[in-house]
Amino acid sequence: MTFNLVRTGGELRALKSDGQRAVVMTMGALHDGHATLVRAARERVGADGTVVVTVFVNPLQFGAGEDLERYPRTLDADLALAEAAGADAVFAPAVDEVYPGGEPQVRITAGPMGERLEGASRPGHFDGMLTVVAKLLHLTGPDLAFFGQKDAQQLALIRRMVRDLNFPVEIVGVPTVREADGLALSSRNRYLSAEERRTALALSRALFAARDRLAAQEALRARAEALPGAQGRGDARAQALSRLGEARAAADAHAVAQAVEGVGADAVRSAARAVLDDAARAEPPLTLDYLALVDPADFTEVADGHDGEAVLAVAARVGSTRLIDNIPLTFGAVK
């Protein structure tokens, strides 16, 4: 298929293929993170399928004082990147193509999950996001839709919408793409000065510090579980820890005792917060919006001693630029 730039739903419907159709939804200003989504879509649908990239800066998901007008628009560069990554078409509609009667009176409501974290910081954002995703799913008619895990709450809400409203599409999450220094790829990174970028690296460093703390706690738990009698209570456990203490410090033995009881979510949060607290004292400083360790099913905070999947999410401002990042974690991998 020849690469196409299409502007209307009619032009989209005219695109024919023998295989599945995949869509990658973007607001433009494409970077390698988007290219990774396109490559994943192309691999999934194969040579006979069709990959459509949407480029649409959605006014409904920008709140008062946010950067709708400032948001970069780089269509020529977006077309080149999309084609190089394997897309068959870019759908770049005008606002009145997506919202022909002006702002829609009927919208998708994100519900309780949409009021937490990003939703609390940006009221109405997720309602606007889900509304345009629903419209673009109708317009593009895909079998599969690919989204980055960097926007973890967005991805969770889209999956919930698709499930709750019976959209006939498979939602595919693709891992976050990072630059060599660890900063998650984002169209907003271009707003950062060199000094601001150095401070912004605290977001990924905080997430990695939390991941490393969890790994260390899980390792302690594994050692504790391997000790004879470690699963018992009273004298049996005390004797097991005493045997470990013959070769290790008492503090280490105490940590192992705690690890048997469960890996602490609070310790993981604390490891991340320590990095962010340091960045708050940097020049220029990082201003934290939120740091949250949440259940990926509903984005509520997990309790200390949580077992299972979790997402550690962070949002902060450096200068005038707001950035988000997250990392998936698994508690209780050692049983």
Point out the residues that are catalytic.
34
What is the C-alpha to C-alpha distance for residues 182 and 250, in angstroms, rounded to an integer?
A: 36
Structure tokens, 5:
């730039």
DSSP state, 301?
A: B
What is the C-alpha to C-alpha distance for residues 120 and 63, in angstroms, rounded to an integer?
A: 12
What values do phi and psi take at 296, rounded to 5?
-65, -15
Contacts of 233 (CB under 8 A, 6+ apart): none
What is the C-alpha to C-alpha distance for residues 137 and 127, in angstroms, rounded to an integer?
A: 15
What is the C-alpha to C-alpha distance for residues 44 and 230, in angstroms, rounded to an integer?
A: 46
Amino acid at 82: A
Q: How many C-beta neighbours within 10 Å does residue 281 have?
A: 8
